[in-house]
Structure 1
């Protein structure tokens, strides 16, 4: 199997596992956690894991590997840069709504916030992501962005992006574990240690987030799956410049 065949097989597994993560987290909260609402109750909190996994893990991960898709290599890179930035902004918006859902429920029900390791790691991921997106906008998109700044920031942008995904994975695993521990805090058949159906399902979801993240990191690490280098000036030039002003 050629390099492109290997890529598309891996990419297909990546997309499939990401979508399965999303389906599983929706089903978990619908089947065992009381469904969804937006009324300040625990049903509103159920939007938190769904939106965080949808935005910070799945959409973020797929946007991160966007430039590796060979189908897009024959098209102008600035189009894919705009799509990449748009998908990342959508991921950040989903994360913001997911955070609001959690904090609003905590405030309404007088539940403490930001005390657990999950909350610290998760907030670190979102804040780092927000700063990364803003710096990416200033470095690569705006007409005032200097080409030298874009070339300097590219390596940092890639490194920070992978750090955000690692933080997100840690937040997902700790969050699933925390939610299962709270929900199944008891003795007898419903205890977490007795592995009821919900615990098995939640653990499987956690494993699948690891599988998805591993596939994303694997795609990003393969040198021969990178988009071929283009003209240096074209790579570094801000992409929101009008066509007649581009070098």
Structure 2
């Protein structure tokens, strides 16, 4: 017979589990593919789950081919980084398949500042150049090294990671994600470019109001 105290403890444990943060993986597809009907793709990926699929009889091989990463994006003058993200909004054939990818280019010395993807693990293949790459785990340990052409590094889901071109010529990386909407949280812009109270940031980082104002001017538009 279960005593009242044990029963209460069990019920409390169940309730606490219900409040734990839970981020499920992308759902398993129930169709071979679901290419959205023409005009139904929207940049807000939260709308992709309930849009109608194109009739398979109207689908061709061209629907499964994407040419948007043949060329790099535009380099940022502040970071020397150019990124091209590819998800169902750009490549509708990815819809419901639980994956997306990106192209990243770096000028010499260019950086992809610390950031993380809340819904996906990333694998990054260096196709040109030498890129100092790494991530920080939840215990504050840094795992970083120079990754050369042909090598792949993995960044576990939710871990803050970063990249910098340490070579003398442009570097290029192709990244893939195990979510069609991995999310992107850029640490500098999220902290200093948002509406977090200056008083809190002063205490948290030991910076003066003048120093914070300079950082906010830099990152508010990024």
Scaled by the length of structure 1, the TM-score of the pair is 0.21
Instruction: Name which one, 1 or 2, has greater alpha-carbon Rg.
Output: 2
Scaled by the length of structure 2, the TM-score of the pair is 0.23
| Greater fraction helix | 1
| Greater fraction strand | 2
Higher relative contact order (CA 8 A, sep 6+): 1
